[in-house]
């Protein structure tokens, strides 16, 4: 026993970026093991977007006017970027609930009493959520292909679109992390993580042509960070319904999407880590 | 040279509530301090301040000789914390939990794995090592939590109500583990609401109430302060009370108290079991039939009651009259002076 613990004392490296990365990966691994032991959560996370694809495609399909046509097949191609983007933002609730659960069970206290990098508990969680988001997106893309969605551009452009989607999802899990640290129960984190996503994802170009909205609402939709990613994906996939709006984020959707996501990460990571440092269950 | 755990004038306020109102502690290396007090007395807040989880508004704190406020991360390397809830990841196995904690203590992965094996063995969890902690019993989870706190064999340990909610058998087991640990030279600060637990495990005891240390000393010292041993007699016949009282007066060091309705007489004595035998003989000679007799030493419950005016467990029901209790406590403090 003492041989091991003596080695511990001497094996302590300095607090550095390397330590941050290592600690984050340890926590990410822990969260991934957890997720693999609660497969029903991953499965429900898949069913919901698949249901949305089917419902929106077939219920709304014939009634939506996209670029002057109400052809259901056109709407399906239009819809997928929106569903993809909405799906990645729903990771917010998972991250929030997970962190609230850790607080509730005293695990955050344990982590905070360990000599580990300060942001690692949250970074580890968001990284694990990113893996889950990527998996969900993969399955969803297959379902989308089955209902008739196609891309009409080069592979790098398609991959870039998925990259932007993952970045958006990652950014939103940091919002979830802050929510998880701010509420008392995992249940509150789940509903608190979802409620505001409905206006954010619906007052956008995700499901309808935003140029048909009331002008002020269209304005909100055009500047909504969420719309920028949807617009960027439509451009990169070569899907119909790209908004002709002259608002800056609509004109430079790829850049806008990138900038918005990075700003959200920086802002909410800062707030969440600060909150973590003073967190108490 | 201050002790392994040292605090001076810790103050922490939450809104209007003064959770800590000037707590001083000094725990010599290799000893166990029991922090005793009712719910809401400030025990947990004290532990949170000393383990870097909470920053006190005022005061100084040193753990293992390191300034807690200036070098919190250095302190974290030298402490183990086992909290009120078994803080283990229930979806991870016992082995995975310990491996993770080891790595977060900055051990190399391989070393952390080896240490996990040792600890699982030590805490009798080897058989359950590869089952998710969710399937563990309450006692097993506590043991795993404690093992996690011991991954680096920290010189200073904090345990916040380690046995709360455990059944008596599991409590006994955990006590044995704690005793072993302390015999290895670890300094331990233990909070508890169970007076028996403090009596059993702690070298020194600090009684806290309303965010202050209201008494400190060894268990024996605290008991001696409350008063020495007493003889308690329950007579069979109400008519014999007067005679019995007369007998006891002959042996007692102080006034005999009589409770008419329970037919119980109590008198402070010195002389232990030998004296008790004499009392029994004398009562017998006088033909007084007794239902019960005993030599009673003060328990920590008596200590607590006399110090705070309420029992440790009673606080929950008394929350409504906390102001009264505080008034009472002040009175007691004045009396003590």
**How much is the average pLDDT of B249-255?**
82
Of A26, A34, A112, the CB nearest to B103: A26
Pair B195, B36: CB distance under 8 Å: yes
CB contact under 8 A, B111 and A8: yes
CB contact under 8 A, B115 and A5: yes
- Long-range contacts from B313-322, C-beta under 8 angstroms, 24+ separation: B313/B38, B313/B193, B314/B38, B315/B38, B315/B39, B315/B40, B315/B41, B316/B39, B319/B40
Q: Is A10 at the interface with chain B, CB within 8 A?
A: no
Of B77, B88, B132, the CB nearest to A12: B77
- A-chain CB neighbours of B118 within 8 Å are 1, 4
User: pLDDT class for B318, splitting at 50, 70, 90?
Assistant: very low
CB contact under 8 A, A110 and B92: no
Of A11, A15, A111, the CB nearest to B73: A15
- A-chain CB neighbours of B165 within 8 Å are none
Give the contacts of B120 (CB within 8 A, at least 6 positions apart). B94, B95, B98, B126, B129, B147
**How much is the average pLDDT of B264-280?**
85
Q: Rounded to an integer, what distance in angstroms lies between the CA atom of residue B47 and that of residue B34?
A: 12
CB contact under 8 A, A113 and B132: no
A to B CB pairs, distance under 8 Å: 100
- What distances in angstroms separate CA B281 from CA B231, B238, B251, B290, one per listed residue? 14, 20, 12, 11
Query: A72-89 vs A225-237: helix axis angle to the nearest 10?
Result: 130
Q: Rounded to an integer, what distance in angstroms lies between the CA atom of residue B108 and that of residue A12?
A: 9
Give the contacts of B288 (CB within 8 A, at least 6 positions apart). B235, B236, B237, B240, B243, B244, B247
Residue with the larger pLDDT of the pair A132 and A11: A132
User: In this model, does residue A10 exceed pLDDT 50?
Assistant: no
Give pLDDT tens digits for B84-136.
776 899 999 999 999 999 999 999 999 999 999 999 998 899 999 999 999 99
Percent of chain A with pLDDT over 90: 68
3-class secondary structure per residue, chain B: CCCCEEEEEEEEEECCEEEEEEEEEEECCCCEEEEECCCCCCHHHHHHHHCCCCCCCEEEEEECCEECCCCHHHHHHHEEEECCCCCCCCCCEHHHHHHHHHHHCCCCHHHHHHHHHHHHHHCCCCCCCCCEHHHCCHHHHHHHHHHHHCCCCCCEEEEECCCCCCCHHHHHHHHHHHHHHHHCCCEEEEEECCHHHHHHHCCEEEEEECCEEEEEECHHHHHHHHCCCEEEEEECCHHHHHHHHHHHHHHCCCCCEEECCCCEEEEECCCHHHHHHHHHHHHHHCCCCEEEEEEECCCHHHHHHHHHCCCHHHHHHHHHHHHHHHHHHHHHHHHHC
In whole angstroms, what separates CA A165 from the centre of its chain? 7
Of B55, B76, B118, the CB nearest to A114: B76
- A-chain CB neighbours of B53 within 8 Å are 109, 112-113, 280
Residue with the larger pLDDT of the pair B271 and B328: B271
Q: How many domains does one find in chain A?
A: 1
User: pLDDT class for B333, splitting at 50, 70, 90?
Assistant: very low
Range of the domain at A249: 2-279
**How much is the average pLDDT of A207-235?**
94
Pair B226, B299: CB distance under 8 Å: no
Q: Nearest-CA neighbor of B48 among A7, A168, A106?
A: A106
Q: Rounded to an integer, what distance in angstroms lies between the CA atom of residue B245 and that of residue A226?
A: 87
DSSP summary character for residue A69: B
Q: Nearest-CA neighbor of A253 among A237, A268, A269?
A: A237
- What distances in angstroms separate CA B77 from CA A116, A135, B26, B33, B105, one per listed residue? 9, 37, 20, 21, 7
Give pLDDT tens digits for B164-177.
878 888 888 888 88
Q: Kindly report the average pLDDT of chain B as a whole number.
A: 85
pLDDT of residue B1: 57
User: In this model, does residue A104 exceed pLDDT 50?
Assistant: yes
Of B48, B86, B105, the CB nearest to A114: B105
Percent of chain B with pLDDT over 90: 43
User: pLDDT class for A280, splitting at 50, 70, 90?
Assistant: low
Give pLDDT tens digits for B141-196.
989 999 999 999 899 999 998 888 788 888 888 888 888 888 988 999 999 888 78
User: In this model, does residue A111 exceed pLDDT 80?
Assistant: yes
Burial of A199: CB neighbours in 10 Å, binned 0-12, 13-18, 19+: exposed
Q: Rounded to an integer, what distance in angstroms lies between the CA atom of residue B45 and that of residue B63?
A: 16
CB contact under 8 A, A113 and B96: no
Give the contacts of B19 (CB within 8 A, at least 6 positions apart). B12, B13, B42, B45, B211
User: In this model, does residue A141 exceed pLDDT 80?
Assistant: yes
Which residues does residue B34 pair with via DSSP β-bridges, in sequence order?
Answer: B190, B205
Give pLDDT tens digits for B5-45.
999 999 999 988 899 999 999 999 999 999 988 888 899 99
Q: How far apart are the first and last CA of chain A?
A: 33
Q: Which of A53-57, A139-143, B284-288, B319-323 has the highest mean pLDDT?
A: A139-143
Q: Nearest-CA neighbor of A190 among A89, A90, A96?
A: A96
CB contact under 8 A, A105 and B90: yes
Q: Is A23 at the interface with chain B, CB within 8 A?
A: yes
The half-sphere exposure of B58 on its side-chain side, counting CA atoms within 13 A, is 10
Closest Cα of chain B to A25: distance in Å? 10
């Amino acid at each position: 026993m003492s041989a091991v613990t003596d080695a511990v004392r001497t094996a302590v490296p300095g607090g550095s970026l390397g330590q941050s990365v290592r600690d984050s990966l340890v926590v990410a691994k822990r969260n991934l093991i957890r997720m693999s032991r609660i497969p029903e959560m991953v499965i429900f996370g898949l069913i919901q977007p698949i249901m949305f694809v089917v419902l929106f495609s077939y219920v709304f399909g014939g009634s939506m006017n996209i670029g002057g046509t109400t052809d259901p097949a056109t709407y399906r191609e239009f819809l997928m970027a929106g569903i993809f983007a909405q799906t990645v933002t729903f990771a917010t609730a998972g991250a929030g609930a997970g962190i609230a659960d850790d607080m509730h069970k005293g695990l955050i206290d344990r982590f905070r009493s360990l000599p580990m990098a300060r942001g690692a508990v949250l970074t580890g969680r968001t990284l694990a959520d990113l893996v889950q988001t990527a998996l969900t997106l993969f399955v969803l893309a297959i379902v989308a292909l089955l209902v008739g969605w196609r891309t009409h551009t080069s592979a790098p452009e398609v991959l870039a679109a998925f990259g932007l989607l993952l970045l958006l999802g990652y950014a939103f899990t940091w919002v979830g992390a802050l929510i998880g640290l701010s509420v008392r129960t995992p249940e509150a984190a789940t509903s608190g993580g979802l409620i505001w996503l409905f206006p954010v994802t619906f007052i956008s170009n995700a499901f309808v042509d935003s140029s048909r909205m009331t002008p002020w609402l269209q304005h909100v939709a055009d500047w909504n960070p969420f719309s920028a990613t949807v617009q960027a994906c439509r451009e990169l996939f070569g899907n119909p319904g790209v908004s002709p709006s002259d608002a800056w984020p609509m004109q430079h959707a790829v850049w806008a999407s990138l900038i918005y996501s990075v700003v959200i990460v920086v802002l909410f990571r800062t707030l969440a880590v600060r909150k973590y440092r003073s967190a108490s269950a | 040279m201050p002790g392994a755990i040292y605090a001076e004038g810790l103050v922490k306020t939450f809104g209007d509530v003064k959770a800590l109102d000037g707590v001083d502690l000094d725990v010599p290396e290799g000893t166990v301090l029991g922090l005793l007090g009712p719910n809401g007395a400030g025990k947990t807040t004290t532990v949170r301040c000393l383990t870097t989880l909470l920053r006190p508004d005022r005061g100084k704190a040193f753990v293992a000789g390191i300034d807690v406020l200036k070098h919190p991360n250095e302190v974290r390397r030298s402490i183990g914390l086992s909290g009120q809830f078994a803080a283990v990841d229930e979806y991870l196995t016992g082995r995975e939990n310990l491996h993770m904690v080891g790595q977060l203590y900055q051990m190399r992965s391989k070393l952390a794995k080896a240490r996990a094996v040792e600890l699982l063995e030590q805490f009798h969890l080897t058989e359950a090592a590869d089952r998710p902690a969710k399937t563990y019993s309450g006692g097993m989870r506590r043991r795993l939590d404690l093992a996690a706190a011991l991954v680096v064999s920290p010189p200073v340990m904090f345990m916040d109500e380690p046995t709360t909610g455990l059944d008596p058998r599991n409590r006994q087991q955990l006590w044995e583990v704690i005793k072993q640990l302390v015999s290895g030279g670890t300094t331990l600060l233990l909070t508890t609401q169970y007076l028996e637990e403090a009596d059993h495990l702690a070298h020194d005891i600090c009684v806290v109430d309303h965010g202050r240390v209201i008494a400190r000393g060894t268990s024996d010292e605290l008991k001696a302060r409350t008063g020495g041993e007493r003889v308690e007699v329950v007579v069979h016949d109400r008519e014999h009370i007067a005679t019995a009282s007369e007998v006891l007066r002959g042996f007692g060091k102080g006034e005999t108290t009589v409770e008419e309705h329970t037919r119980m007489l109590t008198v402070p004595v010195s002389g232990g079991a030998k004296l008790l035998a004499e009392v029994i003989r004398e009562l017998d000679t006088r033909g007084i039939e007794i239902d019960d007799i005993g030599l009673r030493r003060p328990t920590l419950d008596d200590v607590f009651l006399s110090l705070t005016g309420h029992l440790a467990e009673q606080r929950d029901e008394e929350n409504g009259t906390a102001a009264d209790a505080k008034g009472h406590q002040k009175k007691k403090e004045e009396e003590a002076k």
